[in-house]
């Protein structure tokens, strides 16, 4: 079977059981970040690597500062998903040998700006030539307090499902300039008991089932309630991906307090209840079964 038929989630599911796992690993592949137990210390260590590939994650002529920004912000968005604090980044830049160093400098300018936005230090990197497309891989380490770690698998039947921001149409520009919801995520876990969380990288149609499956529950999405970005349609909100907003599950008992305090803390950022988790999945709209997948 070829990769484009298999899809990334299924490929990883096949590979994960065979991975070399040793002491100190709290959660490995299968969530947004890996979680490891440091030899000493009260916090857990989070590790995440992510890459952007020319013609997949950015167009060939895109602004290099924006490309660098996106390359850094993608793994940082996974820290947001787990309520983590990113600290250190390593950068691998694979570029065609004919690339001009001015272009590489502008890539680094974008990487630096994005890192500085969240006090992340770029502590190392590697540059390699290639005959193929440009690839930027960024690995980030950081931490999360034990009692504030949120994974995908803690959702409970009856939980409300919330999303931050507006969904859809990210390909028109937002995907190159988004700001990961780290501040929002850290605030949420300081004030509330968030049961499960994920960042919306592949679209609702992929990420809602992903969170529900990890939590071993079903879900119901109210299509009429989706917060749709200006110029986007409901299909975009469901399937475009690259929104990098947070999707999280929280007890309905917290609903009113969450809405009130969110509006005070983040008055410019929408927070929308889009449905809930339940015992068995009731997919009101078949569109939620399709969606963007890598290798497609």
Contacts (CB under 8 A) with its own copies, residues 100-139: 100-101, 104-105, 108-109, 112, 115-116, 119-133, 135, 137, 139
Of the pair 133, 218, the CB lying nearest its own copies is at 133
Measured from the CB of residue 237, what is the shortest distance to its own copies in angstroms? 24
CA neighbor of 124 nearest in space, from 106, 110, 111, 134: 111
Measured from the CB of residue 55, what is the shortest distance to its own copies in angstroms? 7
Q: Does residue 13 belong to the site contacting its own copies (CB under 8 A)?
A: no
Of the pair 143, 244, the CB lying nearest its own copies is at 143
Find out whether 110 and 65 touch, Cβ atoms under 8 Å: yes
Measured from the CB of residue 51, what is the shortest distance to its own copies in angstroms? 5
Which of 13, 21, 59, 263 is in the footprint of its own copies by CB under 8 A? 21
Measured from the CB of residue 163, what is the shortest distance to its own copies in angstroms? 23
Q: Does residue 6 belong to the site contacting its own copies (CB under 8 A)?
A: yes
Stretch that binds its own copies, among 26-34, 155-163, 192-200, 242-250 (CB under 8 A): 26-34
Q: Does residue 97 belong to the site contacting its own copies (CB under 8 A)?
A: yes
Residue with tokens 């009731």: 282
Polymer length of the chain: 296
Q: Does residue 36 belong to the site contacting its own copies (CB under 8 A)?
A: yes
Q: What are phi and psi of 154, to 5 degrees?
A: -100, 5
- First-residue to last-residue Cα distance in the chain: 14
Q: Does residue 29 belong to the site contacting its own copies (CB under 8 A)?
A: yes
Give the H or E element holding residue 249.
strand 246-250
Which of 20, 60, 264, 279 is in the footprint of its own copies by CB under 8 A? 20
210 Cβ neighbours under 8 A, 6+ residues apart: 9, 152, 198, 202
Find out whether 195 and 251 touch, Cβ atoms under 8 Å: yes
- State the virtual CA torsion across 267, 232, 72, 109 in degrees, nearest 10: -90
| Structure-block tokens of residue 210 | 């992903």
> Residues in contact with its own copies, total (CB under 8 A)?
78
Find out whether 249 and 160 touch, Cβ atoms under 8 Å: yes
Contacting its own copies within 41-70 (CB under 8 A): 41-43, 45, 47-51, 53, 55-56
**In this structure, how many other beta carbons lie within 10 angstroms of the beta carbon of residue 24?**
10
Stretch that binds its own copies, among 11-19, 182-190, 206-214, 247-255 (CB under 8 A): 11-19
| Structure-block tokens of residue 154 | 């803690």
Stretch that binds its own copies, among 93-101, 234-242, 253-261, 268-276 (CB under 8 A): 93-101
Sign of CA dihedral 6, 180, 198, 169: negative
Contacting its own copies within 181-210 (CB under 8 A): none
Measured from the CB of residue 294, what is the shortest distance to its own copies in angstroms? 6
Q: Does residue 24 belong to the site contacting its own copies (CB under 8 A)?
A: yes
Find out whether 205 and 290 touch, Cβ atoms under 8 Å: yes
Measured from the CB of residue 211, what is the shortest distance to its own copies in angstroms? 18
Q: Does residue 95 belong to the site contacting its own copies (CB under 8 A)?
A: yes
């Amino acid at each position: 079977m070829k990769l484009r038929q298999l899809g990334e989630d299924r490929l990883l599911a096949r590979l994960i059981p065979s991975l070399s796992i040793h002491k100190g690993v709290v959660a490995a592949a299968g969530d947004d970040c890996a979680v490891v137990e440091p030899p000493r210390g009260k916090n857990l260590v989070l590790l995440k690597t992510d890459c952007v590939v020319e013609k997949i994650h950015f167009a060939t002529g895109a602004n290099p500062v924006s490309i660098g920004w996106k390359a850094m912000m993608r793994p940082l968005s996974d820290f947001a998903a787990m309520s983590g604090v990113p600290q250190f980044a390593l950068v691998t830049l694979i570029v065609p040998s004919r690339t001009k160093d001015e272009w590489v400098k502008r890539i680094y300018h974008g990487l630096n700006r994005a890192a500085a936005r969240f006090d992340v230090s770029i502590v190392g990197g590697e540059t390699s030539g290639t005959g193929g497309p440009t690839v930027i891989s960024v690995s980030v380490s950081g931490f999360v307090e034990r009692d504030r770690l949120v994974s995908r698998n803690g959702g409970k039947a009856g939980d409300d499902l919330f999303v931050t921001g507006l969904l859809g149409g990210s390909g028109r520009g937002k995907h190159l300039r988004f700001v990961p919801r780290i501040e929002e995520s850290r605030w949420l876990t300081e004030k509330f008991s968030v049961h499960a969380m994920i960042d919306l990288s592949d679209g609702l149609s992929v990420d809602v089932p992903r969170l529900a499956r990890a939590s071993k529950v079903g879900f119901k999405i109210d299509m009429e309630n989706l917060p749709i970005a200006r110029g986007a349609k409901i299909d975009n909100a469901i399937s475009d991906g690259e929104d990098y907003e947070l999707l999280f599950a929280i007890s309905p008992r917290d609903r009113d307090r969450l809405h009130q305090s969110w509006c005070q803390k983040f008055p410019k950022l929408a927070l929308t209840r889009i449905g809930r988790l339940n015992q068995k999945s009731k997919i009101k709209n078949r569109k939620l079964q399709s969606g963007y997948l890598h290798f497609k």
